[in-house]
Structure 1
Amino acid sequence: MTSRPPPLFTRLTRLLVLAAWVLLGLASAQATPLTAAEEQGVREAVQGQLAAFAADDANKAFSYATPHVRETMGNAASFLALVRKAYPMVYRPASVTFLKPESRDGQVIQRVQVLDAAGTSWLAIYGLERHGNAWRISGCVVVEDKRRMA
């Protein structure tokens, strides 16, 4: 008897694959500088989502996601449940340090150094896209950061 992965796991896998493709595309594309206002908007989107996680405000956190991510996840409660389980260091960071965002071919990445409650350092790499006048998060990949916090 074979078991199928739960739907939430399948969605998470799809999001991680999407995020990896976005990040790989950014690595090979031509960099373009962001304006100070764009950098601020990118940072505010990530900060807003982190603040929504801290307040357990699933709807607000979900509002920072791109339409594709929202469609893939289905609803705010599923999204928050996934973040709690798969990204505890982002869900409840002890501290965060924003690095300078980078733009390539209309896609933006925002690296954030995150320290979890146990003192482990992580690098959260957010992909963002502009939707109208707002920046929306298209994915996040988190890896352990062996370097010192900035």
Structure 2
Amino acid sequence: MRILLAGLTLLIALAFLPAERAHADEAAARAVIEGQIEAFLADDGPAAYSFAAPGIRSMFPNEERFKAMVRQGYPPVYRPRDFAFGRYRETAAGPVQEVSIVDRSGVAWQAIYSLEQQPDGTWKISGCRLVRLPGVSA
């Protein structure tokens, strides 16, 4: 009876592991994105750069170039007035986190972040696509 109960307990625990891992990955993704946005708001280039995946870092080999690219190409990400996390989903290319952003002018944007897990288990931002939401401003 004890063996049967232990086996049943193990099966139930194993069934919940994928859901718990997905929740942990989502929380980690949000922490990385929030950390980078907060670093931009604080003008902390080294901290913002530390959240970039190796592929991004190879295109922008130092924090000044990276910060300049974000400032010029992604001003809503660089200086949001407000942001909120939306849908998180797993894709064949890796996890994607949607973030609703209101820029300093009150214009609404959707930032779609892609993330990749590093060999040490941490998550880094591998890309961001920014889409202006039509006719929406705060």
Letter in 1 for 2:55: H
What TM-score, normalized by structure 2, do the two folds share? 0.79
Partners of 1:102 and 1:66 in 2: CA distance: 19
The answer for unaligned runs of 5 or more in structure 1 is 1-31
Q: Is residue 39 from structure 1 mapped to residue 26 from structure 2 by the alignment?
A: yes
Q: Is residue 142 from structure 1 mapped to residue 110 from structure 2 by the alignment?
A: no
Partners of 2:72 and 2:129 in 1: CA distance: 14
Report matched runs for 1:53-132 at 5 Å: 53-105=40-92, 107-131=94-118, 132=120
What TM-score, normalized by structure 1, do the two folds share? 0.73
- The aligned residue for residue 18 of structure 1 is none
Deviation per CA, 1:54-113, whole angstroms, max 9, x where unpaired? 111111111101111101111111000111111111101011010121112360111101
Partners of 1:69 and 1:94 in 2: CA distance: 25
Deviation per CA, 1:6-34, whole angstroms, max 9, x where unpaired? xxxxxxxxxxxxxxxxxxxxxxxxxx976
Of structures 1 and 2, the one scoring higher in RCO (CA 8 A, sep 6+) is 1
Q: Point out the structure with max Rg over C-alpha.
A: 2
Letter in 2 for 1:142: L
Contact 2:83-2:99 at 8 Å conserved across structures: yes
Q: Which SS does the other structure have where 1:124 is aligned?
A: strand
Q: Which SS does the other structure have where 1:99 is aligned?
A: strand
The answer for unaligned runs of 5 or more in structure 2 is 1-17
Letter in 2 for 1:38: D
CA shift for structure 1 position 114: 0.3
- The aligned residue for residue 9 of structure 2 is none
Partners of 1:124 and 1:106 in 2: CA distance: 17
Partners of 1:130 and 1:48 in 2: CA distance: 16
Equivalent residues, number: 118
CA RMSD of aligned residues (A): 1.9
Contact 2:51-2:125 at 8 Å conserved across structures: yes
CA shift for structure 1 position 148: 6.1
